[in-house]
Amino acid sequence: MFKFKHENLETNAGILLVATMLAISIGGLVEIAPLFMIDSTMEKVDGVRPYTPLEQRGRDIYIREGCYTCHSQMIRPFRDEQLRYGHYSLASESKYDHPFQWGSKRTGPDLARVGGKYSNEWHVQHLIKPTSVVPESVMPNYPWLLTTPLNYADIGDRMRALRITGVPYSANAEEYQRNVAQFGEAVAKTLHIPDAQKNLVAQAQEGNYDGDRTNVTEMDALVAYLQVLGTMVDFRQYKPEDLVKYR
């Protein structure tokens, strides 16, 4: 009968390789794999939708400027975080984020629910020169956002790429109808790839995020993105104990 001896493992590179891989895959198997199976991983809440073209470009700028290196977007279910940042984040709130911006490094505050907390004017001043409104801030200045026109020629391609990852942007009439059924007509229109450029400009002009309606700047896009963060779910619809039961 074969008797297992540690020596067999240590003196046989092939067996050692297989055994090592088995050992290190346990972490993934017990921590990640079950999340794809467990029913209560994703809360069933209304209101979460993919970003509009302008918000999506703002998100790209957020990533380009490396905002995620200092700002997280994940409010944990602790009382101190709830008091400062608002309701804890839900998994379903970042289901259209590719990649998600949860992060684990907070040099600056969490931004998961920054939307609607400050005025557009405040965001513009703050991004140009953070210390002008928060004297103790260590955040760098981003003055070029206000003067750089937004490049949105490739917004269709960006949305098509996200569509491949499963974000329900619509590329044809059939998908558009599916979105109308899922999100309602007003939202579905903003998710239609062929109209992306038109929708982007319209939102920038209507929202007037940077205080100048005559142009579409990177500031317009970034502020539009910041102002939508964490605002999609209306928590008044849900009893606190309902969300407790998703864990």
Partner 1 sequence: MANETPRTSVQTTGHVWDGDLQEYNNPLPAWWIYGFYITVAFAVIYWIIYPSWPFGKGFLPGVNSITYVNAEGKEESWHWNTRAKLLKETQDAAAIQKPYYDKIASLSYEQISKDPELSSFVLSAGKAIFSDNCAPCHQAGGQGKIGHFPNLTDDDWLYGGSFDKIHESILKGRRGYMPPFAEALEPAQIDALAHYVLSLSGQKAEPAKAAEGNKLFHSQTAACYYCHGDDAKGRPIIGSANLTDKVWLWADVPGARDDAARVAAVRQVIANGLNRGVMPAWEGRLKPEQIKLLTVYVHELGGGK
Name the site residues for partner 1 (rule: CB under 8 A). Answer: 30, 34, 37-40, 76-79, 82-84, 88, 116-119, 121-122, 125-126, 132-135, 211, 239-241, 243-247
Q: Give 53's contacts (C-beta < 8 A, 6+ positions apart).
A: 152, 155, 159, 190, 196, 197, 199, 200, 203
Distance CA 93, CA 130 (A): 28
Q: Smallest gap, in angstroms, from Cβ of residue 184 to partner 1?
A: 23
Q: Smallest gap, in angstroms, from Cβ of residue 236 to partner 1?
A: 9
Q: Which is nearer to partner 1, 44 or 198 (CB)?
A: 44
Q: Which amino acid is at 184?
A: G
Instruction: Dig out the tokens for 230 from the structure.
Output: 């964490």
Q: Which is nearer to partner 1, 180 or 243 (CB)?
A: 243
Q: Which is nearer to partner 1, 210 or 218 (CB)?
A: 210
Q: Smallest gap, in angstroms, from Cβ of residue 53 to partner 1?
A: 26
Angle at 233 between CA 231 and CA 234, to 5 degrees: 95
Q: Which is nearer to partner 1, 14 or 135 (CB)?
A: 135
Phi and psi based region of residue 133 (left: phi greater than 0; alpha: psi -120 to 50; beta: remaining)? alpha
Instruction: Dig out the tokens for 201 from the structure.
Output: 């400009």
Tell me how far CA of residue 123 lies from CA of 140, 142, 143, 151, 223, in angstroms. Answer: 14, 11, 12, 21, 7
Q: Smallest gap, in angstroms, from Cβ of residue 170 to partner 1?
A: 31
Q: Which is nearer to partner 1, 9 or 133 (CB)?
A: 133
Q: Which is nearer to partner 1, 100 or 246 (CB)?
A: 246
Q: Smallest gap, in angstroms, from Cβ of residue 219 to partner 1?
A: 15
Q: Smallest gap, in angstroms, from Cβ of residue 202 to partner 1?
A: 21
Contact 86, 93 (CB under 8 A): no
